[in-house]
Structure 1
């Protein structure tokens, strides 16, 4: 599958306005697009960060949805969004695990790598990282997103509740350090979010 990630920052006091718009009009817009397979909405209420991820059955379906979503996105995110960034990825690994309840946690790790090492990153995640993530208490699923051309990626690990998210920090730090070394990737960012919505139709 393929994903579009939208990352917005703004005034924390206005975040709820954008969330309401995404959960109503934004949800309806996505559901109308051919090839749509699900979405996630994640927030950092304290700092004023919003991450949305939409899933598509093909690169073509994602591309065809771009025109409508690009036109409507500013209105959906205002007056909250002071900055907005849109990135497209291949979902190289998708392991749904247990579906997290609303209020669960997401840890995002942003990566850079030499494009020629993209397959190594996928192999390392499958063989070395994923089995160890599954052992973390409260683990609820994970995915590895890659932009093979630009040598950029993102991993997301879901946890069932904030306590599990916090308790996993040391354990995942070890997995992250060892996995990054084996996969020849550089970690360039680490963030945590509250899960407001996460639903992907894998089949």
Structure 2
């Protein structure tokens, strides 16, 4: 298991490029210096003006310690783009393994809510029932499941090699999603798609 911090920012689409450049240079260097860092991803919707940054950590302690520095530097990295910023922490119970660093593909994210007592059921359903069906979708290149057991919240991310594959997978993934949420006792409360600016996870 790994641990993740997500930073979700919204703002002026015209200023998004500045934030991307800052995160991929200064932000990446700051993360690399932190003990326990295991990779990062930047995902954007250039039309709407949304940005999701994910950092991966070997332990919850490493993640939390790193945020002492990142909390101070984050506003500067996201300026002048970000009008709103939300930071959340999760366990990464499923994560991409063995793929090369990705750029230019597409990612579909679902936000989930569930009763905290059903967290293990959500994991088991995704790992044994959902993931094998996702893996056969054309262009599939990885998937992740993030859980916050205490709050009963989670995220799924499904990555594709290019935007065409992302678009072509919508109907197929909709069927999987409809059938799996009832088994997992989860609700999907948001569905978004992003361009993959960069994504790289190093499990060990």
TM-score, normalising length: structure 2: 0.98
Contact 2:39 2:55 in 1 (8 A): yes
Q: CA deviation at 1:97?
A: 6.0
1:117 corresponds to which residue? 118
2:164 corresponds to which residue? 163
**1:97 to 1:183, Cα distance in 2 relative to 1, 3 A:** farther
Runs of 4+, deviation exceeding 6 Å: none
Aligned length: 203
Please say if 1:52 is aligned against 2:53. Answer: yes
2:97 corresponds to which residue? 96
Contact 1:97 1:142 in 2 (8 A): no
2:134 corresponds to which residue? 133
2:200 corresponds to which residue? 199
Q: CA RMSD in A?
A: 0.9
- SS of aligned partner of 1:2: strand
1:24 corresponds to which residue? 25
Contact 2:102 2:200 in 1 (8 A): no
| CA–CA separation in structure 1 for the residues paired with 2:61 and 2:195 | 30
- SS of aligned partner of 1:136: coil
**1:153 to 1:115, Cα distance in 2 relative to 1, 3 A:** same
Q: CA deviation at 1:102?
A: 1.5
| CA–CA separation in structure 2 for the residues paired with 1:81 and 1:146 | 25
**1:59 to 1:43, Cα distance in 2 relative to 1, 3 A:** same
| CA–CA separation in structure 2 for the residues paired with 1:149 and 1:78 | 32
- SS of aligned partner of 1:196: strand
5+ long unaligned stretches in structure 2 = none
| CA–CA separation in structure 2 for the residues paired with 1:43 and 1:58 | 26
| CA–CA separation in structure 1 for the residues paired with 2:125 and 2:83 | 37
Q: CA deviation at 1:101?
A: 3.7
| CA–CA separation in structure 2 for the residues paired with 1:28 and 1:76 | 12
- SS of aligned partner of 2:95: strand
